Structure 1
Amino acid sequence: METNFDKLLEEELPKIKDLATKEGNLSLALEQLYGLEKQTRATESFSHTSIICKEIVKLCFECNEWSQLQECLILLSKKRNQSKTVIQHIVQEAMQLLDKTPDHETKMGLIDTLRSITEGKVYVEVERARITRVLCEIKEKEGELRTASKLLQELQVETFGQMEKREKVDFLLEQMRLCIALGDWTKCVVISRKITSKTLADESIMDLKIRYYELLSEYYSHKRAYLNNCRCYLEIFQTESVQKDKELWTKALANIVIYTVLTPYGVEQVDLSHRVFKEKKLKDLPIKELLEIFLTEVLMDWKTITTKFNELVSHPIFAKDEGKEGQTWKDFHSRVVEHNIRVIEKYYSLITLKRLAGLLELDVDTAERYLAELVSSKTVYAKIDRITGTVNFEKKLLPYETMDEWGNKTKNLFGLVESTCQLIQKEYQKSSTRKREKN
């Protein structure tokens, strides 16, 4: 039967095509094709059914009958015992015509038809996802951003077994981008968790990895989670493709330094600062000096810092947040003040609030507020005496702490005594050896 259909189609299809294109009788051509389609479908010759159905789609296109095309697609998909493969093939064939539609209205009509055919059918879920993405792009261009985001989020592409990994990740990133554009930060972070680090380790999707961490960084910027921002750009910096492009790694490394400086003081921030400072490529960047200043135990003058690193204001991290008027710049000033308080704590045991405010270049109330915040976070130890207007940085040890300290000092002392005795004994032995050699 297969051979008979091969011969039949070889003879009949050219005649039917001429009937539609040359004689202009599309309805008669379609009637004959429907007859052939019924025969092949009844005998379950689905490969030939697919050929005929695709020919129906092509003829409608060649005759510029777009409304007829939509009707044919719906009719073919609803035929009794129609093969899933046939439906998949006609949808794929029609998808190729989306960019060839004569006007916007026709294109939207074809998209709606294809979406209605593919709705609820697992075997065409990938095709439905691609059609929906085209629709989302149209809606976004028309300014219907919320509609576009809603349509795209309806697709659970992470569960699609037939979709390739690269395409899945690309769809998820597009969902993240639309959520960020709408300011829907909660959904953005939920979607981001669908992409694992194991997936991003694939070398074939390094460009998507960079895009992922850039989008995630926007979320962390909104939350002012600067440490996480820094980790995002570390991932970007360590990507092989970025390492090969000086412009890209320079940009990533500069962002790493700035976000490291913006991160509140803590164990992770200190560890990260030293790791970044050891990076060999950092020596080529002028911004290295900013990180170096923060790692030293020296008071930082705010006016000097802002003058020396004036170009920071125009950096995208600060510029997108209104420069000197934005919260990011204020956070940068806070990190400078907090650094100065930590330095003062190391060199002063007792200081007046007025003197402290003078060293910090702040008024007394603001200086007291910054100090109180650091004390609350246990970054520094201090007691403020408002009556006398003094700050005591000297921590009073508990009895057991005093004993521990005394024990450690005694242990160190005995260690030094023992080492000294050994060195003296060694010198005696050398002296005795030299005397015996002379004699």
Structure 2
Amino acid sequence: MSREDPLKAEKDFSATLDEQLPLLEQLPDYKEALDKYLVLEKQIRQSSDLPSSKRIIGRIVDTLVDHADWEHLEELVTSLSKKHGQMKTAIQVMIQQVIKHLSKLKDSDEKQLKQKISLIETIRTITDKKIFVEVERAEVSRMLSDIYLAQGDLDKATEILCDLQVETYSMMPFDTKVEYILQQMALTLQKHDFAQAKVLSRKILLKTLQNFAKAEEYKATYLRYLLQINAYEKDYITSVKNSLLLMELPAVKDSADYKDLLISIVYTIILSPYDNYQSDLIHKIKANTVFSKNVSAKIFRLLEIFTTNEIIRWGQLEADYSDLFSQSPMFLENDENTKNLQKRVIEHNLRIISKYYSFIELKRVATLLQLDVADAETHISALVNLGMISGKINRPQGIVKFEKHGVASSGLSANNSEDMNELLNNWVYDIDKLLEEVDSIGHLINKEEMMYGIKQKL
């Protein structure tokens, strides 16, 4: 059973080791030397001499590795970790020494690979639920995951790596934690387990990805993973938000796919359902000279089309942009995006109609939308329910009555209506900021609880 490191050794074996180790190294039979090493290890362990214990255990591991006696090494690692009075740091050093030598077992050799997997599994068993060797357990688990991934067993690789709760490891550096979580996300995304990937993504806060060597690289990788999750969930507006953050990173600006990223932002913002936040973003993107300089004029014109108070003819839009849409993965590989684009055109047209008409025949609305009457009625009802427009349908007379927001209901002036829109925009921004702060606080509370739990166990 392991124990805490002693403050002071009962006896100092450093001089004994200085004398004995060179002599034992000269023995022709390494097994004879090993037996004598183990005798010394017991004496040192019973005397609580930690520095000497680390030396002798390291020599035992090196001797077995030098003679390729991996099976005996596996047995001794298990045995020494269970010895009565074995010090925690001595176990940690032993595990670290074994991990350092694992690279000598080649993955290309079937026998050596089998031995490597067995040794890794032994280390994982020894380190299970032991806080003082949690970093070493994570390291060998990643090795094992990589082996299974190379063999094509994605499920096993994902299971092993995602079992690690590295965010709770107090002794692991922050950047290493991020690296592990990103690798976990990569495997779950490769497995198309987007729900698990989203859960893992919440373990990283964007604002914490700074002030370390690979901060920008990890931030770019993290945002690209988020974009994959957003695309799967058809969360267009969040995708735009993450893309705008990604495009500001220096490494991304110099990459070959920078223009593709800008084009995807233009497509994604017009696919986003209309609200005050979407309206604010699309106007900001339209005013950003980066887009006008790097995106073709034809694609950039889409922003103009969707921000102008004019009816959009779906047939004409489809004909004008069919060549570009057929070249874009967003539309070529996803028919749902094309359907959503048509839906956004209808929603845009209904908002324009509601601005210019107080009363209009339902048949006329259907004609302007290039739909039949039933579909036009369905879309009007949907937008009224969503609060995008305010109106009522008189079915017997076949008339649609549109009400201006803030006028019919409360008698507010146009200026007051604009003030309300500004107020709502500020409210949306404040809510986003509040949620970020709540997320950050939750992360810090979780960290404090973990640290408190570790202290209690220690």
Q: Which moved more, 1:262-271 or 1:370-379?
A: 370-379
Q: Report 1 or 2 for greater relative contact order, CA contacts < 8 Å, sequence distance ≥ 6.
A: 2
C-alpha separation between the residues in 2 aligned to 1:257 and 1:398?
Answer: 33
- Structure 1 residue aligned with 2:25: 17
Helix, strand or coil for the counterpart of 1:382? strand
In the alignment, which residue of structure 1 is the partner of 2:218? 208
1:318 partnered with 2:327: no
Could you tell me how far 1:89 is from its partner in structure 2? Answer: 1.1
Distance apart, 1:106 and its partner CA: 0.6
Q: Which residue of 2 aligns with 1:340?
A: 349
Counterpart in the other structure of 1:123 = 132
Q: 1:294: how far off? A: 0.7
Structure 2: how far apart are the matches of 1:196 and 1:302? Answer: 41
- In the alignment, what sits opposite 1:252? 261
Taking the aligned partners of 2:189 and 2:102, their CA distance within structure 1 comes to 28
Question: What SS is found at the alignment partner of 1:393?
Answer: strand
Give 1:343 deviation, angstroms.
2.1
Could you tell me how far apart the structure 2 residues matched to 1:400 and 1:315 are? 44
Greater Rg over alpha carbons, structure: 1
Matched residue, 2:317? 305
Mark the CA change 1:374 to 1:17 in structure 2 (over 3 Å): closer, same or farther.
same
> Quick one: percent identity of the two aligned structures?
34
Query: Does the CA contact (< 8 Å) of 1:233 and 1:256 recur in 2?
Result: yes
Sort the Cα spacing of 1:14 and 1:297 in 2 relative to 1 into closer, same or farther, 3 A: same
Cα 1:405–1:97 shift into 2, 3 Å:
closer
Contact kept? 2:10, 2:47, Cα under 8 Å: no
Q: Is the 8 A contact 1:50 1:90 kept in 2?
A: yes
- Contact 1:234–1:252 at 8 Å: present in 2 too? no
The 1-side partners of 2:235 and 2:263 are apart by 17
**Amino acid corresponding to residue 328 of structure 2 in structure 1:** H
Structure-2 separation of matches of 1:32 and 1:87: 19
Cα 1:394/1:196, change in 2 over 3 Å: closer
Tell me which residue corresponds to 2:367. 358
Q: Is the 8 A contact 2:11 2:48 kept in 1?
A: no
Give the 3 Å change call, closer, same or farther, for CA 128–407 of structure 1 in structure 2: closer
Secondary structure class of the residue paired with 2:222? helix
Listed as ranges, the gaps of 5+ residues in structure 2 are: 1-8, 107-111, 417-458
Give the residue type in structure 2 aligned to 1:371.
Answer: I
Q: Equivalent residue of 1:351, what SS?
A: strand
CA distance in 2, matches of 1:221, 1:54: 51
Deviations 1:238-258 (A, max 9, x none): 234334x15354333323222
> How many angstroms apart in 2 are the aligned matches of 1:44 and 1:80?
12
CA separation in 1, counterparts of 2:246 and 2:284?
16
In structure 1, C-alpha distance between the alignment counterparts of 2:78 and 2:266, rounded to whole Å: 58
- Describe the shift of the 1:400–1:151 C-alpha distance in structure 2 as closer, same or farther (beyond 3 A): closer
1:35 maps to which residue? Answer: 39
Once structures 1 and 2 are overlaid, which stretch shifts more, 105-114 or 251-260? 251-260
| 1:378 paired to 2:387 | yes
Q: Quick check: 1:58 aligned with 2:66?
A: no
Total equivalences in the alignment: 398
Contact 1:353 1:368 (8 Å CA) reproduced: yes
Do the aligned residues in 1 keep the contact of 2:246 with 2:252 (CA within 8 Å)? yes
Does the C-alpha gap of structure 1 residues 269 and 203 become closer, same or farther in structure 2, counting only changes over 3 Å? farther
Across the aligned residues of Structure 1 and Structure 2, the Cα RMSD in angstroms comes to: 2.9
From 218, 239, 248, the counterpart of 1:238? 248
Residue 87 of structure 1 is matched in structure 2 by 91
Q: C-alpha distance in 1, partners of 2:331/2:401?
A: 36
2:437 aligned residue = none
Provide closer, same or farther for how the CA distance between residues 2 and 14 of structure 1 changes in structure 2, counting only shifts above 3 A: farther
| Change beyond 3 A, Cα 1:66–1:374 | same
Gaps of 5+ in 1: 409-439
Look up the equivalent residue of 1:226 and give its one-letter code. Answer: Y
Is the 8 Å Cα contact of residues 185 and 225 (structure 2) preserved in structure 1? yes
1:87-132 per-residue CA deviation (whole Å, 9 max, x = no partner) reads 1111111112222215221111110111112112111100101111
2:326 is aligned with what amino acid? V
Q: 1:218 aligns with which of 217, 223, 228?
A: 228
1:289 aligned residue: 301
| Aligned-residue offset at 1:155 | 1.9
Preserved contact between residue 302 and residue 336 of structure 1 (Cα < 8 Å): yes
Say if 1:70 and 1:110, in contact at 8 Å, map to a contact too.
Answer: yes
**Alignment-mate amino acid for residue 192 of structure 1:** S
Q: Quick check: 2:206–2:219 contact (8 Å CA) kept in 1?
A: no
Taking a change above 3 Å as real, the CA distance of residues 397 and 226 of structure 1, as seen in their structure-2 partners, is closer
SS state at 2:390 partner: coil
Counterpart code for 1:221: A
Any idea what SS the aligned residue of 1:161 has? coil
1:260-297 Cα shifts (integer Å, max 9, x gaps): 11111111110111111121211121232211211111
Counterpart AA for 1:315: S
Taking structure 2 as the reference length, what is the TM-score of the superposition? 0.78
